[in-house]
Structure 1
Amino acid sequence: MGVSERKEREKIEMKELIKAAALKLFLEDGVAKTSIRNIADEIEYSPGTIYLYYKDKDELLYEVQSNAFGKLLEVFRENATHNDPVERLLEISRTYITFGLNNPELYDLMFIIRAPTNVDEEIHKANGGNCLDFLTDCLAACAEDGRLVVPNVQVATLQVWATAHGLVSLNLRCRLKVMDASEEEIPNILMATMESYIRSVTK
């Protein structure tokens, strides 16, 4: 391995180390209470080292979120594989809800906190875009088969996402305690609610 290749590998390894430490602290202490200095202390480097790779905490948070959306896309690809687009849409919904319930702190980091604004949009594309495209492509397939009741795929995408997100968020914020259901029953209720909604907008 040449010098340039080794330096590039070391750069990648350092960025991964920084992102792993940032994710840990973001989840444990919250984004607002986590500073570049905290992250530097976690990996036992100076804050200046982190600034060699990231201009500020916003840019670092954006990349941490990007990694999280990559994990969500992976589970979509693993679990939403049915040839029938409506059944695949149900698989996407179940996968999304399961991901949110199993990873509450990560879900909060991805979808609940305010997105970082101090980033270069030309360099940092919209986080979660690939995940949204996965859902949109499925809905487009439903439309092509004449199975989608909602006439606009873009509107349908927002409706499905908003419904799934709303269900997960209500549960994560403990707003479903008003329901006469045990904690063990809640996931099945969310799944059933989402399935009922999807059946109502598809044929």
Structure 2
Amino acid sequence: MASDGSSWSETGTRKHKLGRLYPLDFQDKQAEKQTQSVEARGQHTYASKKEEAAANAKRWLSEEAMVAFRRYIESKDELKGLDYEFDELVHQCFHVEHYLKTFYHFNFTVKTKKPGSADWTSAMYFAQVKLICMIKRYVCYPLEQDQYGECYACENHGMGELRHPLEGIYDMGREDIQFPFYYQDSDSDEFDATTGGSESSDEDMS
């Protein structure tokens, strides 16, 4: 007699109180299905959260790119009154050399229409969003066809396809720095980005 009140038969089945007979491996299969169901739900939840995070990041980057674009057209008298709408975020690169040098580079397209016109045109733009002491600085430039200005920062991140203006004021990074980046002050210790601190010698510790 089983301890839970059900009985065991000689044919390898368990008889529950309701009198139904189940194969001995029935409960094992049910438990396996439940485990697989829980694992599937966990994987689905993780994938959903990952997709949601990626969508939120893309939305934020697109908004930042458009802030830069609006500041650009506001500085051009000939572009005032221009109708525009965001088209596509093409490339983006986040670069950190040290806590005082953090910036994003973007390639994105914007559709524009001149006042009184029914025709929309799409053009590629470059933008930089730089954070300095919790204050954002924006720059934006239109890009001509096959225009590739230099940027060591994006190249070091493997983002050579991200296009930059041939002439313009933006951060290019340093040619002699490879990931992981570090910051060398004038005569201070070296900042190590992998540890978040500085490397001190034994003499400094004494």
TM class by smaller structure: under 0.3
Greater relative CO (CA pairs within 8 A, separation 6+)? 1
TM-score, structure 1 normalization: 0.25
Which has more helix, going by share of residues? 1
Which has more strand, going by share of residues? 2
Which of the two has higher C-alpha Rg?
2
